[in-house]
Amino acid sequence: METREPIVSAEWLHSNLANSDIKVLDASWYMPQEKRNPLEEYQLPHMLPLEEAFAAAVSVLGIQNTDSVIIYDGKGLFSAPRVWWTFQIFGHNKVWVLNGGLPHWLKAGYEVEATTPENVTLRATAVRKAIKSIYHGQYVGPATFKTNFRPQMIWGIEQRLSMFQVKQNMTDKTHQLLDARSKGRFDGVAPEPREGIKSGHIPESKCVPFTEMVDSSSLLLSEDELHKKFLQAGVSLDNPIVASCGSGMTACILCVGLHRLGKLDVPVYDGSWTEWATQPGNPIHTLATD
Give dist(CA 126, CA 124) in Å, integer: 5
Give dist(CA 208, CA 187) in Å, integer: 12
Cα dist from 112 to 7, 69, 107, 243, whole Å: 20, 18, 11, 34
- Sequence-distant (6+) residues with CB within 8 A of 115 are none
Burial classification of residue 124, based on how many CB atoms lie within 10 Å of its CB (0-12 exposed, 13-18 middle, 19 or more buried):
middle
Q: What is the dihedral of CA 230, 233, 239, 244, to 10 degrees?
A: -90
Contact 181, 207 (CB under 8 A): yes
Looking at residue 149, its amino acid is: F
Q: How far, rounded to the nearest angstrom, does the alpha carbon of residue 158 sit from its chain's CA centroid?
A: 21
245 is annotated as an active-site residue: yes
Closest CA to 105 of 189, 217, 22: 217
Burial classification of residue 224, based on how many CB atoms lie within 10 Å of its CB (0-12 exposed, 13-18 middle, 19 or more buried):
exposed
Of the residues 207, 245, 252, 255, only one is catalytic, namely 245
Residues noted as catalytic: 245
